[in-house]
Structure 1
Amino acid sequence: MTADKRVGGAGRPRRRRPLLPRIPLRHLLPLLPPLGICALLTALGFLTHVLSPLSGLLLLAPVLAGLRLDARHTAAVGAVALLLGLLVDGRAWSPGFAAHWGGLLTGSVLSVHAAARRTALERVLARVSEVSRIAQAAILPPVAEEFAGTLVRTRHYCAAPDATVGGDLYDCALTPFGLRVIVGDVRGHGAEAMPLTAATISGFRDLAYRTRELRSVAIGLDARLTPRLADEEFVTAVLVEFGNCEIRTVNCGHPPPLRVGTDVKLLEPPKPALPLGLRPDPEQYRFRLSPGDRLLLYTDGLIEARNTEGTHFPLLEAAAEALTDPLPESALARLYEQVTAHSGGTLTDDVALVLCQPSDLRTHTGLTPGSHPGAPEPPGLLGPLEPPPTLSG
C-alpha cells in the first residue's frame, strides 16, 4: 500500500484547495475607493511624519463606505481603517491614542449600522416598488388582442416619473352587447390620479357587461364617480360599442374618435355632453365602418402636445401617414414617434392610444338581449346612423 493515493482510483491527483477563497472582482471593485483613501492617508502620515492627526481622518473611509456599500463591505473597510489607525498611532504612541482610535472605532461601528439600515430600507423600497409596478400593470395592462373580430392595440405613456399609470385610462370589454371600449382622462398625474383611474375602469367593467344601452353605461358611471370627485373635478371619457358595419359612441367631454380609412375623419358628436362628474346627459351616435377602416381613440395629451414654437400636434396629417401602416403595432409606434419628435423628445402630459381594426365586419352583430342577426333595430335605441358618404364628381 503506497502513501501516494489517488482519488477514486482514477489516476488523477487530488486538487489542492486555495488557502484564501476566491472573491469575484465585482465584489472587490466597490471597496477600492474607501480602501484607496485608507492607503493614501497612511502614506501621507508616514511621509510627513504627522501621524496622529491623520489617523483620525481614516474615519472618512468607513463613513463613505456606509453611504454606498452594504454592512458587510462597510465592516471590512472599517476593520482595515482600525488596523491602520492602530499601526499609525501605535508607532507614534501619542497621548491621544485612545481618543483617536476610540473615535475611529465608534465611527466605524456607526457606519456599519447606518449601512445596514440603509440597505434594509432599500430592500423595502424595492419590494414596494415591485408591488406598485404589479398593481399598476393590473390596472392598466397593455392590450394586444382580438375581440370578436376586432384587433385592439394600445400604447400608453405616463409623464409622472417612476409611474406607469397616471390620469389616462382605457379598457376593453367583450359583452353580450358587443365589444365595448372606453378611453378616459382623470385629473392629475401619477399616484394622485391612480385611485380615480382604478375606480373609473372598475365601474366601466361592471356596467359594460350588464347594461344594455351604452348611454346608460355612461350615466351609471357618472353616478358612481360623482361622490369621489371634489368640486370642479371631472373625468372625460368616450365609450365605443362595435356593431355590424358600424360603431356607437357616447362622448362625455372627451376628444372625438378618429376614423382612418378612405379618408381621415373625426367622429364628433353633433351635441356635445359634459364630462363625467358634472351630471352629463349624453346621446348615443352611430358611425359607419367600412372594410379596412381603423378607429383611433386617444387622450388630450396627443392633440395638446406642442413644439418649441407652441404649435399643437397635427393629428389628422400625422394619422393619415402613420396609421396606414399594415401592422397595427407599427402604426401606433409610428404615431407615438411622431408626437414625441414634435414635442422635442419629451412629452409633458400622459398619452393613451387605442387602435381598433375590425378584421371582418360581418362578425360584428352587436346583438342586444332577445335580438337575432338580421332583426330590425329597436327604434330609438341605437339612434340615427351617420349618412353614407357621397360620391363626388
Structure 2
Amino acid sequence: MAIRDGWRERWGSRAARALPVTASSVLAAPGMFAGWEPATVALLIGPLAACARLGVLHTAVTVCWAALLALVAGAAHDFTASPPFLADFLALLAGGVLAVTVAVRRAREAAVLAGVVEVARVAQGAILRPFAERIGGIDVCTRHYCPVQGATVGGDAYDIAHTPYGTRVFIGDVRGHDLAALRISAGVIRGFRDLAYVTPDLPDLARELDARIRGELGPEDFVTALFAEFVPGEVRLVNCGHPAPLRVGQQIRLLEAPEHTTPLGLGPRPALWRGWLQPGDRVLFYTDGLSEARDAGGVDFPLLKGVAEALAAPLPCDALDALYDLLTVHTGAPLADDVALVLCQPAEPAMPGAEPFSVPGSDGVRHVPSARAGHPTPGGHPRC
C-alpha cells in the first residue's frame, strides 16, 4: 500500500509539472504542422497554469518554452499571420513576465507562512513542555503529537501543578487549529498556573479560569477542559465538555459523570466528581484527537481496547508510545488532528482504611458537592 501510494504521488507530481508545457505544445501544434494561423497569445495558458501551481523555475521554463513555440509557429507562416505576429508575441512575453512575477510572489508568501508556522510550532512545543517525572507522589508522563500534514498548529493544552491541595492536572482543547487557537491555549495554561496554587476547590478553579479567559475568546470560541486532583486513594474531577479520562487497573473504565456541563467560554456549571484508586491504577487523560481518530472506512479508534493493550507496558512513557503506535496503525495515514496524552500513576499505595474501589450505582465514580479545605464531604473524606 505504501509503495503504491508513493508511486501514485510521484507520478501525480510529474504530471502536474509536465501539464503546462504540454498545454503550450498542444496549442502551438496546429500552427506548426496543420497550416493554421498560430494563436500566439493562447500559449499563455501554459505559463499561467505553471505560476498557479508550480514554482518560479518551472514557470520560467514554461514561459521560455511557450516563446520558443511561438517563434517556431510564426516562422512556419513567415511571421505574416493575422493578428500581427510582433504584437501577439510581445503580449505573450508580457504575460510570461507577469506569470513569473506571480510565481515569485507565491514563493515568498509560502516562505513567510512556513516561517510563521515553524515559529508557532516551536512556541507550542515550549508551552506544552513534556513531563516524565514524579510530581507530588504521582508518576506523570505526557506526549503531544502534531499532524504531519497541513500548515497548522493545534489547540491542545495541558499542564501539571504540585499544589497544597494535591497534584493537579489540566487538559483542554481549544476550538480551531490556527494561531488564534495557540494564543488561547497559552492564555488558558497561564491562567491555570496562576489559579491552581491559590484556589482550594476544583469547581471554583474551573469557574475562575472560565471568567479569566472569556474576554480572550471570540463569539464562536470555546475550550473543552478537564481538571483533576490526585489525593491519597482517589482522583477528583471537574469536566467541562472534555472527553472523560480512563482509569486503567484490573479493569478499564471511563471516569464519566452522568451529567455534563458546557466547555469554558459557554457558561459552564462545574461539579466535582470522585473516583477511587487502588494501588497500581493509572489514569489516562487525552484529547479528542485520540478518541475520534478514524481509519479509511470512517471507523473510530477502539479506545478501550487500544488503551488496555498499550497501557499493559510497565513504564508510563513506553505505554504512551505504544498507544500512539496503535493509533497510527489504525488510521493508516497521518493524523488529521493533534493528540495530547497525559498518563498519571500514584507512586504510593492508597491510605489504609480507604473506602472500597467501587461505589454502588456509580461504577467507582460519585458526585459530591464542592468542599472547602478541611471540611468533610458527604463521603466522610476531608479535603486534603
TM-score, normalised by the number of residues in structure 1: 0.64
Match of 2:177 in 1: 190
CA 1:172–1:41: 2 relative to 1, 3 Å: same
Match of 2:313 among 306, 325, 337: 325
Given that residues 62 and 108 in structure 1 are in contact (C-alpha distance below 8 angstroms), is that contact kept between their aligned partners in structure 2? no
Q: Which shows bigger deviation, 112-121 or 271-280?
A: 271-280
Match of 1:143 among 121, 126, 130: 130
Equivalent AA in structure 2 for residue 143 of structure 1: P
Unaligned runs of at least 5 residues, structure 2: 1-14, 350-371
Match of 1:283 among 266, 269, 272: 272
Match of 2:348 in 1: 361
For residues 328-383 of structure 1, give each alpha carbon's deviation from its aligned partner in whole angstroms, at most 9, with x where no partner exists.
Answer: 3442344345566667879787654322245x439xxxxxxxxxxxxxx9622899
Match of 1:132 in 2: 117
Q: Which shows bigger deviation, 345-354 or 251-260?
A: 345-354
Match of 1:220 among 208, 213, 226: 208
Task: Give the Cα–Cα distance (whole angstroms) in 2 for the partners of residues 340 and 74 of structure 1.
Answer: 38
Given that residues 247 and 284 in structure 2 are in contact (C-alpha distance below 8 angstroms), is that contact kept between their aligned partners in structure 1? yes
Q: Which shows bigger deviation, 265-274 or 250-259?
A: 265-274
Cα distance, 1:322 vs. partner?
2.0
Cα distance, 1:260 vs. partner?
1.7
Secondary structure of the corresponding residue to residue 190 of structure 1? coil
CA 1:193–1:55: 2 relative to 1, 3 Å: closer
Match of 2:38 in 1: 53
CA 1:129–1:381: 2 relative to 1, 3 Å: farther
How many residues align? The count is 340
Match of 2:196 in 1: 208
Identity %: 37
How is 1:139-288 mapped onto 2 (pairs within 5 angstroms)? 139=124, 141=128, 143-148=130-135, 150-156=139-145, 162-166=151-155, 168-174=156-162, 179-186=167-174, 188-191=175-178, 194=182, 196-227=184-215, 235-243=223-231, 247-268=235-256, 275-276=263-264, 277-283=266-272, 285=274, 287-288=276-277
Equivalent AA in structure 2 for residue 145 of structure 1: A
Task: Give the Cα–Cα distance (whole angstroms) in 2 for the partners of residues 54 and 309 of structure 1.
Answer: 49
Match of 2:5 in 1: none
Q: Which shows bigger deviation, 221-230 or 264-273?
A: 264-273
Unaligned runs of at least 5 residues, structure 1: 1-28, 363-376, 387-393
Cα distance, 1:127 vs. partner?
1.7
Equivalent AA in structure 2 for residue 163 of structure 1: T
Match of 1:379 in 2: 374
Cα distance, 1:323 vs. partner?
1.0
| Structure index of larger Rg | 1
Given that residues 28 and 38 in structure 2 are in contact (C-alpha distance below 8 angstroms), is that contact kept between their aligned partners in structure 1? no
Match of 2:100 among 100, 115, 120: 115
Equivalent AA in structure 2 for residue 262 of structure 1: Q
For residues 144-191 of structure 1, give each alpha carbon's deviation from its aligned partner in whole angstroms, at most 9, with x where no partner exists.
Answer: 53253623122446699543314x4323345566543212244x4323
Task: Give the Cα–Cα distance (whole angstroms) in 2 for the partners of residues 57 and 280 of structure 1.
Answer: 65
For residues 28-52 of structure 1, give each alpha carbon's deviation from its aligned partner in whole angstroms, at most 9, with x where no partner exists.
Answer: x99977667777777765554x274
